[in-house]
Copies of this chain bind each other. A is one copy, B any other.
Amino acid sequence: PPRNHSYLPSLVGLYDSPPGTDDAKLIDIFYPGDQLSITYGTKSRVGIGGMEAKVKAALWALQGGTSVVIANGTHPKVTGHVITDIVEGKKVGTFFSEVKPAGPTVEQQTEMSRNSCRTLAALHPDQRGEIICHLADLLVEKKEEILAANKMDMDLAVNAGQLSSALLNRLSLSPAKLNSLAIGLRQIALASQDSVGRVLRRTRVAHNLELEQITVPIGVLLVIFEARPDCLPQVSALAIASGNALLVKGGKEAANTNRILHELTQQALDIHWVKEAVQLVSTREEVEDLCRLDEMIDLIIPRGSSQLVRNIQSAAMGIPVLGHSEGICHVYIDSEAAIDKVIKIVRDSKCDYPAACNAMETLLVHRDILRTPLFDQITDMLRTEQVKIHAGPRFASYLTFSPSEVKSLRTEYGDLECCIEVVDSMQEAIDHIHRYGSSHTDVIVTENEDTAERFLQQLDSACVFWNASSRFADGYRFGLGAEVGISTARIHARGPVGLQGLLTTKWVLRGDGHTAADFSEQGTVKYLHENLPVTQPQPRQIAARSED
């Protein structure tokens, strides 16, 4: 077999062209009927090292009713071992099968999606908006069909008895949910007006040589989500608004609902002949198999629990992942905090929606307010709100009868629980947050502007707030229009992410025969590098035009 690149998992099996040549691809599933299309000779067209003999043996076994996989046994996948992977039905090597499946492979889906989205990205922004609004209309018009499909999923889930009531709740759709989904989609349509093709920067490099930096789609997105089927139209609308190709993979438990929602999405896309831009990936595909497409997928967006995000980050094989991992958010009560603000902000940060990633997990209290009426008011409020308190080691040491001491200062409770810890100063609060926080959202409550400004400047978190609840860390509340998610990554997009997070840029240079040599020491021309005002061009509608 051909030599593997050291960073690839074992991909060895049958290839459709001589391995190592342009476009040679591993064949995942080989059907006996395809054999005719392969030329055998002294130089095998399918592999190196006696592949012909292996294929013949495999076909012979297949005729006898035995399934065969040709794979490399010495380079196990990072996540396991070849034999067990094969037994578990994962995609390893080439599988020899009698039955050809009906649908396209995920590679073909990716290709279709990428091609279709090149047209999508070239549409007028109004046309992308029309597609999204049409999808919004369909969600309301076709609600009977959607709810019927959803009922099938719900019945199956209830009968199987495996889903918690929280998950069942997320799985179920209702006319009200569909209506608010449609409203959200219309907001995305509005936000989409100003996304693709926006000029960010213009420079006159030299006379008649002008440079523009403009926004363009990232490419192919893979969005993976769990139970909630309402994710599907939402992320589809975000991808359409930003001109990106999209592969969506939903949970098995919502298969029927996802199928009809995807049909409606393609129906909406079809009004501008870009039906293939959004592809539903069958639930048979494992996330690891999708991550094998690292040459084809440009960004993975997991929507769901921190656990889902972490699993995907570890499987991603170098494909960037845009997702929040954890929100260990702090509220620091300074010695000069105003009591009414403290109570309001702590209550809202912890109790408004404790499961959210922007909810407070640790309350840091300046030592000076520890034995004051303010502190009693805080604990009274938390008791009234039925918040379970865990004591940080230092706080515990101050108390005669301490609540349970925390196991870790890095806990994300996600519930009506929080940790209280004592610090000596604002600086110590910053040190604590840098050490135990997740750089998501952290708050200071103080009346001292100087203390506040130093906290805001020195604290290295995606969101730093002064006298405001941590719950404001949210794309809608920030006024970003459509929300893609909240990123805890440090590059590309950080904190609440709007449509901008689904865009990248390209540099467009228009010259008149300019060469770099013209500008050399012996050359005749000098760089001007003048910043030009950024004016947004009227988008050209050119997608439907015929060629040359």
Among B468, B505, B512, which residue has its beta carbon within 8 angstroms of that of A467?
Answer: B512
Rounded to whole Å, the gap between the CB of A3 and the closest CB of chain B is 14
List, in ascending order, chain B residues with CB within 8 A of A504's CB: 490-491, 494
Rounded to whole Å, the gap between the CB of A537 and the closest CB of chain B is 10
List, in ascending order, chain B residues with CB within 8 A of A492's CB: 491-492
Q: Does A216 contact B (CB under 8 A)?
A: yes
* Complex contact B467–A513 (CB within 8 A): yes
Among B410, B464, B467, which residue has its beta carbon within 8 angstroms of that of A514?
Answer: B467
Rounded to whole Å, the gap between the CB of A215 and the closest CB of chain B is 11
Q: Does A479 contact B (CB under 8 A)?
A: yes
* Complex contact A122–B458 (CB within 8 A): yes
Known: A78-B78, A298-B490. A513 touches B341 (CB 8 A): yes
Alpha-carbon distance A547/B79, docked complex (angstroms):
49
Interface-forming stretch among A168-176, A227-235, A342-350? Answer: A342-350
Alpha-carbon distance A98/B344, docked complex (angstroms):
58
Alpha-carbon distance A205/B495, docked complex (angstroms):
16
Interface-forming stretch among A39-47, A125-133, A251-259, A448-456? Answer: A448-456
Among B79, B341, B464, B508, which residue has its beta carbon within 8 angstroms of that of A512?
Answer: B341
* Complex contact B320–A460 (CB within 8 A): no
Chain A contact-residue range equals 35 or more
Among B197, B408, B453, which residue has its beta carbon within 8 angstroms of that of A540?
Answer: B453
Q: Does A223 contact B (CB under 8 A)?
A: no
* Complex contact B451–A548 (CB within 8 A): yes
Q: Does A277 contact B (CB under 8 A)?
A: no
Q: Which residue of B lies closest to A449 (CB)?
A: B510
A 204-231 binary contact with B (CB < 8 Å = 1; else 0): 0100010100001011000000000000
* Complex contact B515–A469 (CB within 8 A): yes
List, in ascending order, chain B residues with CB within 8 A of A313's CB: 7, 318
Q: Which residue of B lies closest to A424 (CB)?
A: B548
A 504-526 binary contact with B (CB < 8 Å = 1; else 0): 11111111111111010000000
Within 8 A of B (CB), among A8-52: 21-22
Alpha-carbon distance A547/B344, docked complex (angstroms):
27
Query: Which residue, of A313, A426, A542, has the highest number of chain B Cβ atoms within 10 A?
Result: A542
A 482-496 binary contact with B (CB < 8 Å = 1; else 0): 000000011110111
List, in ascending order, chain B residues with CB within 8 A of A511's CB: 465-468, 472
List, in ascending order, chain B residues with CB within 8 A of A218's CB: 490-491
Q: Does A144 contact B (CB under 8 A)?
A: no
Among B205, B320, B463, which residue has its beta carbon within 8 angstroms of that of A320?
Answer: B320
Q: Does A239 contact B (CB under 8 A)?
A: no
* Complex contact B542–A454 (CB within 8 A): yes
Interface class of chain A by DSSP: mixed
Q: Does A398 contact B (CB under 8 A)?
A: no
Q: Which residue of B lies closest to A471 (CB)?
A: B516
Alpha-carbon distance A477/B542, docked complex (angstroms):
31
Q: Which residue of B lies closest to A453 (CB)?
A: B540
Known: A345-B513, A515-B344, A548-B451. A507 touches B478 (CB 8 A): yes
Rounded to whole Å, the gap between the CB of A22 and the closest CB of chain B is 5
Rounded to whole Å, the gap between the CB of A206 and the closest CB of chain B is 10
Q: Does A413 contact B (CB under 8 A)?
A: no
Known: A211-B478, A464-B506, A490-B504. A458 touches B118 (CB 8 A): yes
Query: Which residue, of A22, A315, A506, A542, has the highest number of chain B Cβ atoms within 10 A?
Result: A506
Within 8 A of B (CB), among A434-468: 436, 451-454, 456-458, 460-468
Within 8 A of B (CB), among A143-176: none
Q: Does A369 contact B (CB under 8 A)?
A: no
Alpha-carbon distance A408/B464, docked complex (angstroms):
52
* Complex contact B316–A463 (CB within 8 A): no
Rounded to whole Å, the gap between the CB of A343 and the closest CB of chain B is 9
Q: Does A314 contact B (CB under 8 A)?
A: yes
* Complex contact B468–A426 (CB within 8 A): no
Query: Which residue, of A122, A490, A512, has the highest number of chain B Cβ atoms within 10 A?
Result: A490
Alpha-carbon distance A410/B22, docked complex (angstroms):
7
List, in ascending order, chain B residues with CB within 8 A of A451's CB: 548
Alpha-carbon distance A426/B545, docked complex (angstroms):
13
Among B118, B318, B425, B508, which residue has its beta carbon within 8 angstroms of that of A464?
Answer: B508
Rounded to whole Å, the gap between the CB of A361 and the closest CB of chain B is 14
A 264-287 binary contact with B (CB < 8 Å = 1; else 0): 000000000000000000000000
* Complex contact B548–A461 (CB within 8 A): no
Alpha-carbon distance A492/B468, docked complex (angstroms):
29
18 extra interface residue pairs, beta carbon distance < 8 Å, beyond A197-B457, A299-B491, A494-B505: A5-B314, A22-B436, A205-B472, A205-B478, A218-B491, A299-B490, A316-B318, A320-B489, A347-B515, A348-B517, A425-B547, A452-B510, A454-B545, A457-B540, A465-B510, A468-B509, A472-B514, A491-B492
Q: Which 7 A-B pairs have the closest CB atoms?
A: A7-B314, A468-B511, A479-B529, A348-B515, A341-B513, A471-B516, A492-B492
